[in-house]
Amino acid sequence: MKKIITALLLASSFAAHTTNNEFTATQLQQVSELRDKALNSDLSYQLLESLTTEVGPRLPGTDNDKKAVAWAKAQFEQLGFDKVWLEEASFPEWRRFSESGKIITPSEQPLHLTALGHSVSTPKAGITAEVVLFETLDELIAAPANSLTGKIAYINYKMNRDIDGNGYGPAVRARSTGSVEAAKKGAIGYMMRSVSTAHHRFAHTGASRYQDGVSKIPNVAIANPDADQIARLIALGKPVKVNINIQTEDLGEGQSYNVIGQFNGTENPEQYVLIGGHLDSWDLGTGALDDGAGVALTMAAAKHISEIKRPKRSVRVVLFAAEELGLWGAKAYFKQHANELDKIVAAAESDFGADVVYGFESNVSAHSLPIVRAIAKQLAPLNVAYIAKNDAHGGPDLIPLKNATSAAIFSLHQNGTDYFDYHHTADDTLDKVDPVKLKQNTAAYAVFAFMAADAKTTIKAKPAK
């Protein structure tokens, strides 16, 4: 909290001493009207309620995923976007059918688990084997060859809770490649503590991957309380055996669509500000936080802008496909638009839940910093602090853009303190979204996108590396 307060103080002191010529008094009046309009509108919540209720979970390639694509296209059209279109994206399709687990010895009890994305099935009766505990992935990697033959490798690593979600990256390493490392040592199954900050008894799913030449073993995460229980049982010094039963299917290459809506700019329509989120979700919850909120609030933000004034440059909302299975929609989008990436004058993705935006950060050429500061000044009334590092990374779907070229990427940092309590669980549902906070997010995206699209000069990226 101290960090935020300091940043807020810095933001207000600099704002008082800054003026620039990027925006006229009329434009700033429009920004003020836009901010109020978004703060007083239920549109983003209505969209989120509709998506999570009428469609529900949206695992890529499922019938629900197809319904979500049709839903998004219809909503864009109904909201009056000038252009609405689909772009194909392919991905490795995968399904979960059933999953269960129990501790067998030293005392039989339930084990709350979930299959990790892309995991193979167990035999119909499941696998029953002794658990070998490692505190970290590196400990597993350091285990002697063949030391896990016939065993289930278990990583007990617990992610830490913080506002910016910095505990996620280190914890996800064990989810991505843990089963590969376990199989290399002879394990017949892989189990990990969920990538989670929660106390509830839901397991958190997420993508994992196999490696050619290494045997594919079933791959699960267990809920935090179950992970604590396993650790206590192992500490007693007697063999701990569990049964894991997951039934899944790898369906080969599947197809979905990025759904895109645009309001055309009045002076330079070929240039655009890109905002958006990902339309797909995991199958356990209804994908309200991840990432229905990002979808709904960026659609609503663009709509609110169009009701105030069409900016000079276009505002494009991209709803990416198949993010959860490996950023497939984003890879397809930035590949398809590879020859015109310089038309993206600013890009920001909302994919971190629905708690308030607390910080605004750019990644632009030094020449464009006056525009950034002017935007920051208009975000300040929303309690959004300016983070002056100019090193924003953006959301996950912007990674392919960042890898392809130098781009003007922005982060509207959301408070992620509680995000990993619900992330990728059955508990990611609409009731976790505070409508008032969603309005603040919508207003912040609206102000940012409008000003980036309507500034006098075009925002420039840092020189290419």
Distant-in-sequence, close-in-space partners of 192: CB < 8 Å, separation ≥ 6 = 154, 155, 157, 174, 175, 178, 220, 221, 222
Q: Could you tell me the smallest distance in angstroms from the CB atom of residue 409 to Zn ion? A: 17
Task: Output 329 or 359, the one with its CB closest to Zn ion.
Answer: 329
Q: Could you tell me the smallest distance in angstroms from the CB atom of residue 70 to Zn ion? A: 21
Q: Could you tell me the smallest distance in angstroms from the CB atom of residue 63 to Zn ion? A: 21
Instruction: Name the residue type at position 369.
Output: L
Report residue 456 as tokens. Answer: 């006098």
Q: Could you tell me the smallest distance in angstroms from the CB atom of residue 3 to Zn ion? A: 24
Q: What is the CA radius of gyration of the chain?
A: 23
DSSP 188: S
Q: Which residue, chain included where needed, has tokens 């179950």?
A: 226
Q: Could you tell me the smallest distance in angstroms from the CB atom of residue 227 to Zn ion? A: 23
Task: Output 181 or 349, the one with its CB closest to Zn ion.
Answer: 349
Question: How many residues are given for the chain?
Answer: 465
Task: Output 27 or 281, the one with its CB closest to Zn ion.
Answer: 281
CA distances from 50 to 45, 67, 84, 258, 323 (A): 8, 12, 19, 19, 21
How far apart (Å, rounded) are the C-alpha atoms in residues 52 and 277?
15
Phi, psi of 222 (to 5 degrees): -115, 155
How far apart (Å, rounded) are the C-alpha atoms in residues 320 and 205?
20
Alpha helices in 380-428 (DSSP H): 399-404, 419-422
Task: Output 320 or 334, the one with its CB closest to Zn ion.
Answer: 320
Q: Could you tell me the smallest distance in angstroms from the CB atom of residue 33 to Zn ion? A: 31
Task: Output 175 or 304, the one with its CB closest to Zn ion.
Answer: 175
Q: Could you tell me the smallest distance in angstroms from the CB atom of residue 330 to Zn ion? A: 11
Note the residues at the interface with Zn ion (CB under 5 A). Answer: 290-291, 351
Task: Output 22 or 291, the one with its CB closest to Zn ion.
Answer: 291
Task: Output 162 or 270, the one with its CB closest to Zn ion.
Answer: 162
Q: Is the dihedral of CA 424, 92, 218, 168 positive or negative?
A: negative
